[in-house]
Amino acid sequence: MSLLEKLPFGKRSQAGDDAAAATAAPAKTSSGKGRPTPKRKDAQARNLHPIVPADRKAAKREARAKQDEAWERQRIAMQTGDERYLPPRDKGPIKRYIRDYIDARYSLGELFMPLTLVLLIVFVAFSSRQTLLSFYFMLAIYLFLFISIADAVICWRLLRRRLYAKFGREKVQEQGHVFWYIFSRCFNLRRWRQPAPQVARRQYPE
């Protein structure tokens, strides 16, 4: 019987474990980082960033300055038609084409507000004297309103045909609210329109 066979099972196992540990020890030493592992609270402290700025007044002034700058860029874009800084509802070649077409034509709706104001002044001046004349003034206001609406609808139908031919039906329908965009601009005075007109009368877009 050999000497290894006489050793107890527990001693043989312990000798094998010691040999394996001795073999693995150099590998562990060679693959180490060479520095102690930081504690979790220290690592979390390094990753923390202050949510509230140290100087709230300075941060508020900076945010207000950026907002004022953005508003100023948008105001200038409303006058020059710069697409980069226009509001989302006015951006894009389709909206630009709509504005140019409406600004090139004469719309009855743009005369509705000033004419209504004049008729109302006349109505108030003569309402207590001649009832029949006041009735005719009110009738004229409503009649001109219906004619202006009909003119805006005609403009929408003609312009829609042009938009479909130039940009395609699906792309125009993706814009949404095209009718109200056309309608509201037709009922606004040319000098009060925003974005401001960039074309002259009768200068229709191609």
User: Where exactly are the structural domains of the chain?
Assistant: 62-88, 93-187
pLDDT at 19: 45
The CB density around residue 147, as the number of other CB atoms within 10 Å, is 13
Kindly report which listed range (58-72, 150-164, 188-202) carries the lowest average pLDDT score: 58-72
pLDDT at 125: 75
User: pLDDT tens for residues 48-104?
Assistant: 555 555 678 888 888 888 888 889 999 999 999 888 999 999 999 999 999 999 999
Q: Given a cut of 90, is residue 41 above it in pLDDT?
A: no
| Between 17 and 58, the higher pLDDT residue | 58
pLDDT at 6: 47
- What gap in Å lies between CA 102 and CA 154, rounded to an integer? 12
Which of 34-38, 82-86, 161-165, 176-180 reaches the highest mean pLDDT? 161-165
| Between 35 and 70, the higher pLDDT residue | 70
Closest CA to 108 of 99, 116, 96, 98: 116
| Between 47 and 92, the higher pLDDT residue | 92
Average pLDDT for 184-191: 94
User: pLDDT tens for residues 106-115?
Assistant: 999 999 989 8
Average pLDDT for 165-171: 93
Rounded to the nearest integer, the mean pLDDT of the chain is 79
| Between 31 and 201, the higher pLDDT residue | 201
- What gap in Å lies between CA 36 and CA 49, rounded to an integer? 24
Burial 13-36 (b: 16+ CB within 10 A, else e): eeeeeeeeeeeeeeeeeeeeeeee
Quick one: CA torsion of 135, 137, 143, 145, rounded to 10 degrees? -120
